[in-house]
Chains A and B, each alone.
Chain A
């Protein structure tokens, strides 16, 4: 049979965001793929150095991506605080970690649920999203909004947590814990789910190191990489952070690494609520940013890199963002070749691609 070209995107029911893949297939086996990015490019980096001053820039940068909005705010504000020599109180740091970990939980649950949906397991998708909704409720109680929190502010956080809220959130998290454990078991042992995910889109450790993939995709192949462990931007070692890895490197392993991280994040949230230090949530900062700094933070999808350069005026001279999906895309082309077309959706979504981050 001859070559057939199948378009996947830019508008497709499995894709929440526009990205276009053109698959050349022969008897359903993919022989070549053309990736077309940049549908979402808005020109954020240019606007960051022309339109927004350093006090307002966090509002723009959180809107780089809705799923990891808190990561972009953290990348920018950690850099800015370094340039301004600000000392952040312990309580603010703990509250920041709480929201970052809750954000990671809801992002990972969305990714896992989405994989379940595209392999045709609608029920599992619904269950995952049901538990995700509990996390969203907690986030709304903490920050006042469901998606774009704008929780970070220069010198601290925008809202404090009171005793009643902390008690309620702890209760809800404890209720959620057995459900998430059950969900993990389900992902791991379910026969039908395994048929479409085991040994599909396999990345070996050598491949992962060669292409330099980051985040859960690298950790699913056994590469020990995590910005939370390598770079101390927040006191993660105090709250019981553990690096999660798996060995197989297929779609299932990537789902399970995310699932492990969700459980670890939940542990960390409980620890934070138990050991929340007293103190101010916000300190005042002085001066304008001068000098240059780079920041590495761990987004739900992997390592996010920020480079900031200020010249003492209100507007930055350069703001560079390098997002995790950008590092994870090159390996995708290698993975597709030789796989069946019917598995392509599961492979793409197991990477949890975030195009609004990548194209900005």
Chain B
């Protein structure tokens, strides 16, 4: 199967805002627009987790969004890459230790690529996506399905989902 090659050419993005300020989300919209045009790399913003390869998370993860984010991650098929965008995705940023904030994406799901900045420029976003595509290829060589499925479920604390 030449699946890896095809994956490289068409990574679909699932975007979820977990309580950020909107700034990163409008930069994602801007990078879909003609000037930056992320579709050059085959990436499309699709709303369906079951068809997505890259999970693009913005925001510090509020307590209300925690469960939704976990479910989205589990619904995505292997191989998958998680990209955390923006300063508040990296440990909370300016919202660190607020009473309704979980201090970053890393506390809920494993993250592969970090895009720093508040808000990151579209160039930085494209750089992150390109890196995510490279990681996606190495991942798909290693495993096509989760071997230690039960272990991961235990680690995420998501037995009931």
Q: Is there a chain B Cβ closer than 8 Å to A3's Cβ?
A: no
Given pairs A110-B29, A147-B26, 19 additional interface contacts (CB within 8 A)? A11-B47, A11-B72, A12-B47, A13-B45, A13-B47, A16-B15, A18-B18, A18-B65, A39-B19, A39-B62, A44-B95, A44-B98, A66-B23, A69-B21, A126-B34, A132-B30, A133-B30, A133-B34, A147-B119
User: Does A54 reach chain B (CB closer than 8 Å)?
Assistant: no
In the complex, A129 Cα to B30 Cα: how many Å? 7
Are B17's CB and A18's CB within 8 A? yes
- Assess A41 versus B62: contact at CB under 8 Å? Given A133-B33, A136-B30: yes
Q: Is B9 an interface residue (CB 8 A)?
A: no
The interface on chain A, measured as residues whose beta carbon lies within 8 A of the other chain's beta carbons, has a size of 39
Residues of A within 8 A of B119 (CB): 66, 146-148
Known: A12-B47, A18-B68. A42 touches B33 (CB 8 A): no
Bound complex: CA of A88 vs CA of B72, how far in Å?
A: 49
How long is the Cα–Cα vector from A133 to B122 in the complex, in angstroms?
Answer: 11
Contact B68 A17 (CB under 8 A): no
**Contact residues of B between 137 and 152, Cβ < 8 Å to A:** none
CB pair A42–B25 under 8 Å, yes or no, is no
- 16 residue pairs A–B, Cβ–Cβ below 8 Å: A11-B47, A11-B68, A13-B45, A13-B46, A39-B62, A40-B19, A41-B64, A42-B100, A63-B118, A66-B24, A67-B26, A69-B21, A69-B23, A110-B26, A130-B33, A147-B26
- Chain A: minimal CB distance from B39 (Å): 11
Q: Which residues of chain A from 5 to 24 have a CB within 8 Å of any chain B CB?
A: 10-14, 16-18
B100 pairs with A41, CB closer than 8 A: yes
Q: Which residues of B contact A65 (CB under 8 A)?
A: 21-22
Q: A46-B99, A47-B98 are contacts. A41–B23 as well, Cβ < 8 Å?
A: no
Tell whether B60 is near chain A: CB-to-CB under 8 Å: yes
Complex contacts, B60 vs chain A, CB 8 Å? 42
CA distance A67 to B22 in the complex (A): 7
Main secondary structure of the interface of B (DSSP, over half): mixed
Residues in A lying within 8 Å of B, measured CB to CB: 10-14, 16-18, 38-44, 46-47, 59-60, 63-67, 69, 110, 114, 125-126, 129-130, 132-133, 136, 146-148, 354, 356
Hey, which chain A residues are within 8 Å of B68, CB to CB? 10-11, 18, 39
With contact pairs A41-B64, A64-B21 given, residues A129 and B27 touching in the complex (Cβ less than 8 Å): no
Alpha-carbon distance A17/B15, docked complex (angstroms) = 10
Question: Complex Cα distance A64/B98, Å?
Answer: 13
* A147/B95 in contact, CB under 8 A: no
Q: Which residues of A contact B22 (CB under 8 A)?
A: 16-17, 65-67, 354, 356
> A66 with B25: in contact, given A47-B98, A130-B33 (CB under 8 Å)?
yes
Partner of A16, one of B18, B29, B100, B101: B29
B67 to chain A, nearest CB (A): 10
Q: Among B20, B29, B46, B49, which residue has its beta carbon within 8 angstroms of that of A356?
A: B20
Is B19 in contact with A43, judged by CB distance below 8 angstroms? Answer: no
If A42-B19, A43-B101 touch, whether A59 touches B94 (CB-CB below 8 Å) is yes
Number of A-B residue pairs with CB-CB distance less than 8 Å in the complex they form? 126
In the complex, A356→B62 CA distance in Å?
12
Are A43 and B65 closer than 8 Å at their CB atoms? no
Measured between alpha carbons, how far is A327 from B68 in the docked complex, in Å?
A: 27
Closest to A134 in B: B35
Q: How far does the alpha carbon of A340 sit from the alpha carbon of B82 in the complex, in Å? A: 36
A63 / chain B contacts, CB cutoff of 8 Å: 21, 23, 88, 94-95, 118
Q: Looking at B15, B28, B100, which has the most chain A CB atoms within 10 Å of its CB?
A: B100
> Nearest chain A CB to B52's CB is how many angstroms away?
11
Q: Does B70 contact A (CB under 8 A)?
A: no
Q: Scan residues 114-148 of chain B and give those whose CB is less than 8 A from a CB of chain A.
A: 118-119, 121
* Chain A residues with CB below 8 A from B21, complex form: 63-66, 69, 148, 356
Task: Report the nearest A residue to B122, measured CB to CB.
Answer: A146
Closest to A46 in B: B99
A17 pairs with B47, CB closer than 8 A: no
Cβ-defined contact, A43 with B33, below 8 A: no
B28 cross-chain contacts in A, Cβ below 8 A: 16
Instruction: Among A10, A42, A46, A114, find the residue whose CB has the most chain B CB atoms closer than 10 A.
Output: A42
A345 to chain B, nearest CB (A): 12
CB pair B27–A146 under 8 Å, yes or no, is yes
Distance A344 CA – B16 CA, assembled complex (angstroms)? 20
Return the contact of A11 from the options B16, B29, B88, B98 (Cβ within 8 A). B16
Kindly state the separation between the CA atoms of A234 and B92 in the bound complex, as whole angstroms: 35
Q: With A and B bound together, what is the CA distance between A146 and B72 in angstroms?
A: 30
* Chain B residue contacts of A354, Cβ below 8 A: 22
A17 contact set on B, CB distance < 8 A: 17, 22, 25
